């Protein structure tokens, strides 16, 4: 299913993540299925968007594909190898090529570590062969690459703005030359005037380094702009997956339609018309069914 690309960088099959629910007396209860039976591929150089509301399982998938929080069942293959079959040492090596950029750069940074040392840490952990001078030069180069003055390497996180902190996190994420980055709401905490800077940087890095992204976001306009394909998540399952323009222009699943219809338009006339045209949708309750290919590359869940 969804083998739209010949050699995916990341191939996720039947991924599920369940959490046991405890009853108040501590006895065994049911399980909560945060993510259920999710499959997708990401091609080299591709950006796959993952959208859905809070609680839909977006971030759970992001953490499962990087093995930060491994799935309960299902497989995640990275460059052809099932991550679950790797030895701890091999997994560590593979992980250096899979990175994550989070929403809150301040929480990701260590407040007591200079930002230069934070970026250099990637080399200290994964490249013990590197000497101090070589490491320093590499970090300076990364700073330039993400648009920061290397003269700021000795400063601490609180001395930077939100956008600059996100650049620092991106510098660390690309330090070990990854081929795949999970970007989990990377612009949600940034001001509008700074969001475009970070999105442009992500695109430049993709073009230069051939990166693939899993772009998790609730900003549906930015997702359409940035992603080749988009997967819509609802109640822990993918309900629709398609090439992005196609998904936005011809949404088939009632949930996708509801989601897209709720996006405000930055045009007064169009937005007023949208507000006055709001209609009830026909979204059924219950869990979404399996995906069916309704057109080449366009998958929709059985309602």
Q: Which residues bind other proteins (CB under 8 A)?
A: 53-54, 161-164, 191-197, 199-200, 203, 218, 220-222, 224-226, 228, 244-245, 248, 258-259, 261-272, 274-275, 278
Determine contact, residues 108/68, Cβ cutoff 8 Å.
Answer: no
Judged by beta carbon, residue 5 or residue 94, the one nearer other proteins is 5
Q: Which is nearer to other proteins, 191 or 290 (CB)?
A: 191
| Least distance (Å) between residue 128 CB and other proteins | 36
> Please, what is the minimum distance in Å from the beta carbon of residue 260 to other proteins?
9
> Could you tell me the smallest distance in angstroms from the CB atom of residue 94 to other proteins?
31
Half-sphere exposure at residue 5, Cβ-oriented, CA atoms within 13 angstroms? 20
Give least dist CB 259 to other proteins, A. 6
Could you give the CA distance from residue 291 to residue 303 in angstroms, rounded to a whole number? 9
In the complex, least distance from residue 208 CB atom to other proteins, rounded to whole angstroms: 14
Query: Can you state the angle between helices 192-209 and 162-174, rounded to 10 degrees?
Result: 10
Smallest gap, in angstroms, from Cβ of residue 234 to other proteins?
A: 11
Q: Which CB, 33 or 258, lies closer to other proteins?
A: 258
Phi-psi bin for 86: left (phi > 0), alpha (psi -120 to 50), beta? beta
Closest CA to 126 of 85, 152, 165, 98: 98
Which among 138, 139, 133, 122 has a CA at the least distance from the CA of 176?
Answer: 122
Cβ proximity to other proteins: between 214 and 220 the closer is 220
Please identify, using beta-carbon distances, which residue of 14 and 161 lies nearer to other proteins.
Answer: 161
Tell which phi-psi region holds residue 116, choosing left (phi > 0), alpha (psi between -120 and 50) or beta.
alpha
User: Facing residues of 296 across strands?
Assistant: none
- Closer residue to other proteins, CB minimum distance, 66 or 240: 240
The answer to whether the CB of 186 falls within 8 A of the CB of 102 is yes
């Amino acid at each position: 299913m969804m083998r739209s690309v010949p050699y995916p960088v990341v191939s996720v099959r039947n991924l599920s993540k369940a959490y046991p629910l405890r009853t108040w007396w501590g006895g065994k209860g049911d399980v909560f299925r945060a993510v259920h039976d999710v499959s997708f591929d990401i091609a080299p150089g591709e950006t796959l968007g993952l959208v859905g509301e809070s609680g839909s399982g977006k971030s759970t998938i992001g953490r499962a594909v990087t093995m930060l929080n491994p799935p309960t069942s299902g497989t995640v293959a990275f460059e052809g190898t099932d991550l679950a079959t790797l030895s701890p040492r091999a997994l560590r090596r593979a992980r250096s090529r899979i990175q994550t950029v989070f929403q809150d750069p301040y929480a990701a940074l260590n407040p007591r570590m200079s930002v230069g040392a934070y970026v250099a840490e990637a080399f200290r952990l994964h490249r013990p062969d590197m000497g101090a001078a070589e490491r320093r030069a590499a970090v300076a180069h990364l700073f330039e690459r993400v648009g920061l003055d290397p003269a700021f390497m000795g400063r601490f996180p609180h001395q930077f703005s939100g956008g600059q902190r996100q650049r620092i996190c991106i510098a660390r994420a690309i330090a070990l030359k990854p081929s795949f980055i999970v970007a989990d709401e990377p612009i949600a905490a940034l001001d509008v005037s700074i969001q475009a800077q970070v999105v442009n940087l992500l695109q430049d890095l993709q073009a230069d380094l051939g990166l693939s992204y899993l772009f998790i976001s609730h900003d549906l306009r930015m997702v359409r702009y940035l992603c080749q394909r988009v997967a819509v998540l609802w109640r822990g399952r993918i309900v629709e997956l398609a090439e992005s323009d196609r998904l936005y222009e011809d949404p088939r699943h009632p949930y996708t339609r509801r989601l897209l219809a709720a996006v405000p338009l930055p045009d007064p006339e169009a937005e007023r018309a949208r507000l006055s045209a709001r209609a009830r949708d026909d979204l059924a309750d219950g869990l979404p069914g399996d995906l069916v290919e309704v057109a080449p590359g366009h998958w929709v869940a059985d309602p």
